[in-house]
A and B are shown apart, each in its own frame.
Chain A
């Protein structure tokens, strides 16, 4: 079975500070990994994805994530937080079968303080 654990349900940073959102996964097969963002009253939007190519993945809005197999981690980072980054972030892993099904973590709410 595959699973995702996001450490910290709430993260608060100051504007301009580093953003680090943690994600650890469990998978019996090489995983595909994703970060999605959900702004209030909007649908989930893909930030970035890892599909076994480069381990450092760049996404939209200045976010990036690094796949570390030895640590089973896929943490999301951004060098400098902006007020508009305040949202809920979800890490997800693809299912073992070729269904395209995603298994999500519980989410991390990012608060950005002025």
Chain B
């Protein structure tokens, strides 16, 4: 199966530590999105890339958050100096620009627990 994959699936860390999540999109997809989902809420947009360019960032993405997609393929989302409020599911999705059907293909998410 060549769907969107995310790693790790679960991460437990102590407050103040840095964490990094990786997302591998569907191979031919040039757009990649990061969302955050907290319990009882819908996914909230964080940022998106088209190829290697980061084209939009949400105000939710504080200075402690950084995302990269260096070669236009996989992406990483790093959270520095984690806080308990960062505990959430981090979702990655991909799509193909230009052939707009509106559908985003989601991975299973990376769940972060900050103690």
Contact = CB atoms under 8 A, between A and B. Distances in A.
Interface residues of B, number: 25
A98 interface: yes
Contacts, number: 64
Interface residues of A, number: 27
Contact of B100 (A34, A100, A107): A100
Given A100-B48, A100-B95, A101-B56, A49 B101 contact: yes
Interface stretch (A38-46, A63-71, A72-80): A38-46
Nearest to A107: B42
A103 interface: yes
A41 B42 contact: no
Given A44-B91, A44-B106, A103 B101 contact: no
Contacts of A90: 42-43
B43 A41 contact: no
A42 B108 contact: yes
Interface string A12-56: 000000000000000000001010100001111110010100000
Nearest to B41: A106
A43 B41 contact: no
Which residue, A34, A90, A100, A107, has most C-beta atoms of chain B within 10 A?
A100
Contacts of A111: none
Contacts of B55: 99
Contacts of B101: 49, 51
Given A49-B103, A100-B48, A100-B95, 7 more contacts: A34-B103, A43-B109, A90-B42, A94-B102, A99-B31, A101-B45, A107-B42
